[in-house]
Amino acid sequence: MSTKKFPNLVSQFLQYVKFETQSCRESQDEPSSPNQLKMAEFLVEELKSYGLEDAHIGKGGVVYASLDAAKGFEDCPAIGLIAHMDTSPDAPAVNIKPQIIQVETGDVLLNPEKQIYFRENDFPEIKKYVGQEVIFTDGTTLLGADDKAGVAAITACMAYLKDHPEVIHAKICVAFTPDEEIAKGTVNFDIPCFGADYAYTFDGGEIGTLETENFNAATAMVTIKGVVVHPGLSKGKMVNSIKLASRLIGAFPEEQAPETTEGYEGFIHPNKIEGTVAETSVRILIRDHNKEKFEAKKTLLKDLTRKLAEEESRADISLTIKDSYENMRPYLEKTPKVMEIVREAYRQAGIPISEEPIRGGTDGARLSVRGLPCPNVFTGGLNYHSVYECIPIPSLEAAAEVALSLVKLSAEVKTLK
């Protein structure tokens, strides 16, 4: 893709990643971290400069903006473009130092001082991008391409439309959400305020991927209260909650762990444990594309917890399970036209399509369940939620190209039926 079409795309992206917008699972604030509002305020002013004069921050920190339809195309269904501003809490995200490196065969030295390498053997997919300029970090933080690459693709598209008023299109609705990484991106999302009849999240992975189904997801919390006695006098008396938590985790089937599964295979994943002898809590993610298998995993966790409580009756063990989001596929199947449009956008942008399930979730999944069909488009990044996160520049440009193709196609859509 030519950088001439989106001349400020890379600089925009590099500016966005400097905002510290890591979301916080433990926070009750909306958004969960105040710095997300700083980026929201910046984006509002940027969108206004592109002619989206109604850009504003709504409840909870969601950014909304719209661009009127070209004259004569006001009756076309309004299209929505969505990305999220926050970055994952699963890796360091403060003082991000992006760098552009042209990839050649072999390992990439990210940090000479700390001798941090991006190892080709560990991340073999990088071989597909030999000869391309790729944006990395210095190996000490994540990059934030998830999902500031999506934000950049959308704003670059808006900038293009400002410079090319001859492009005809339906009404365009733009939204940038906070807290997607902690499953709260759409808690305050106002669909009527947004104004779109159908939409696309730009929050996917490698170039060409198109995602129309995702995990059913739930989060479980197990709390174990033990019995504390001085360790020197504890024989037959102490009940160590840490050891009980370890026993529970050890009972999880290894073939249902994220590190042993792929594709449509779901998992049970303990991703946080903290505690003392007296009390330990374990947070567990439950995921599966298949609804029946998803429910079976919940049942398995309930059975394992109950068995542990029976084996150690002196402990107080509790379990809560809260659903996070559903698979969007059954909801997207109700409006197949939305998928036809995005597939055509890939073709017009010259991007081969690779449709695959998301091993996670998106704001689009939650919005699809709420009645706004919203498939997920690639942004081009690799190794999200990791200090080895990176994004090839041509892939980022391709995401912006798909956004522009969707906008142009919107003028041809007369109905979603």
Active site residues: 86, 180
Please report the sign of the dihedral spanned by the C-alpha atoms of residue 159, residue 165, residue 169, residue 171.
positive
Residue 126's contacts (CB-CB under 8 Å, 6 or more residues apart) are 103, 108, 118, 120, 134, 382, 390
Buried b / exposed e over 43-57, threshold 16 CB at 10 Å, is: bbebbeebebeebeb
Measured CA to CA, the distance from residue 200 to residue 205 in angstroms comes to 14
Three-state secondary structure call for residue 79: strand
CA 210 to chain centre: 14
In this structure, the chain runs to a length of 417
Q: Is 169 annotated as a binding residue?
A: no
Residue 401's contacts (CB-CB under 8 Å, 6 or more residues apart) are 1, 5, 349, 350, 351
Q: Nearest-CA neighbor of 288 among 262, 312, 309?
A: 262
Running DSSP on this structure, what letter comes out for residue 128?
A: G
Q: Is 146 annotated as a binding residue?
A: yes
**Helix boundaries (H) for 82-228:** 145-163, 191-194
Exposure on the CB side of residue 256, measured as CA atoms within 13 A: 22
Beta strands in 37-165 (DSSP E): 56-57, 63-67, 79-84, 99-102, 108-111, 116-118, 133-136
Measured CA to CA, the distance from residue 380 to residue 396 in angstroms comes to 5
- From residue 369, alpha-carbon distances to 54, 240, 290, 366 in Å are 27, 43, 16, 5
CA 386 to chain centre: 13
Q: Is 181 annotated as a binding residue?
A: yes
Q: Tell me, what amino acid is at 203? A: D
Measured CA to CA, the distance from residue 135 to residue 132 in angstroms comes to 10
- From residue 89, alpha-carbon distances to 20, 24, 107, 325 in Å are 11, 6, 27, 19
Please report, in range form, the residues annotated as the binding site: 84, 146, 181, 203, 385
Please report, in range form, the residues annotated as the binding site for Zn(2+): 84, 146, 181, 203, 385
